Structure 1
Amino acid sequence: MHPSLSVIRKRADFLAANRGLRVARPGFVLLARPNDGQGKRYGITVTKKIGNAVVRNRMKRRFRELLWDALPEVGLPDHDHILIGREGGIERDFGALRAELAAALARAAEGKGDRPRKPRHNRSRRA
């Protein structure tokens, strides 16, 4: 692991990043959000919709390598970077994923995210 990167582990930090900039690519969605001077941090999320534990863990390992490779040079300073795995991400060529991540980080650096998603229903309210 790179010494200038730290891992996001708290759910609250993941939820906060969800309110930041969002850049979707075929293999993943990148969320980027300023973190008040905590340095470059990263997190990875792969849901059960993607596949079984073996598939999800392989995808997380690939994402980890991608982030370790890219963030020290092209990551946004003092930002949280979250990668959310998408359906086609596991079969994608590693070089293609690397190029997509570079493009997504460049868009995020310019402040150009995708359109905000429509808010989903709030699951925490139960009648």
Structure 2
Amino acid sequence: MTHDAQDKTAGRLKSRPQFLAVRNGEKRKGKFFLLEVLDRARAEPEAKEDAPRVGFTVTKKQGNAVERNRMRRRLKEAVRLSARFAMQPGHDYVVVARRDVLTASFASLSAELNGRIANRQRHFPKKPQPSRAQLPETDNSTRPSDAGRPRKV
């Protein structure tokens, strides 16, 4: 494979720390999978020119090993044939499969994957929720009294 051909293909995420880093990125929910995206160019300016990298995750609750491997193969092929062209340089993508990947038509699976990769503006990262310590204290004096209720003995 020449260097020019290698630049146009998506790389692979292989180690656990790479997968865990992508978890901190934005999440794009789909019918057949969850797509997690991390913009490496923000953290590492030199990564802006790097080829996109992709990883696949199928949890054990999705089925036995044969079914999980079939799901992974279908997703890899959808990325290889069409979705890698929509991927942005300097980004990492993790596709977390759902069981519906097995029964979906390949055309709908590819279309869903392309749509989730290209559609960035609709799906934003979750805003951090304030912890209980940061929440304002509530005044319990405004609670209705239990005076009119019968008591259990």
**Is this a same-fold pair by TM over 0.5?**
yes
What is the aligned partner in structure 2 of residue 86 from structure 1?
Answer: 98
What is the aligned partner in structure 1 of residue 137 from structure 2?
Answer: none
Letter in 2 for 1:113: H
What is the aligned partner in structure 1 of residue 62 from structure 2?
Answer: 50
Q: Determine the C-alpha separation between the residues in 2 that align with 1:77 and 1:5.
A: 9
1:113/1:90 Cα in 2 relative to 1: closer, same or farther (>3 Å)? same
Give the greater-gyration-radius structure (CA). Answer: 2
**Structure 1 residue corresponding to 2:126, chosen from 111, 116, 119:** 116
What is the aligned partner in structure 1 of residue 88 from structure 2?
Answer: 76
**Contact 2:26–2:125 (CA<8 Å) still a contact in 1?**
no
Aligned residues: 116
Report 1 or 2 for greater relative contact order, CA contacts < 8 Å, sequence distance ≥ 6.
1
1:53/1:117 Cα in 2 relative to 1: closer, same or farther (>3 Å)? farther
| Superposition TM-score, scaled by structure 1 size | 0.81
Shift, 1:114, TM fit: 5.2
Gaps of 5+ in 2: 42-46, 130-153
Counterparts of residues 33-44 of structure 1 (less than 5 Å): 33-36=38-41, 37=47, 38-44=50-56
What is the aligned partner in structure 2 of residue 19 from structure 1?
Answer: 24
Q: Determine the C-alpha separation between the residues in 1 that align with 2:11 and 2:104.
A: 26
Backbone CA RMSD of aligned residues: 2.1
Gaps of 5+ in 1: 120-127
What SS does structure 1 have at the residue aligned with 2:14?
coil
What SS does structure 1 have at the residue aligned with 2:82?
helix
**Contact 2:83–2:110 (CA<8 Å) still a contact in 1?**
no
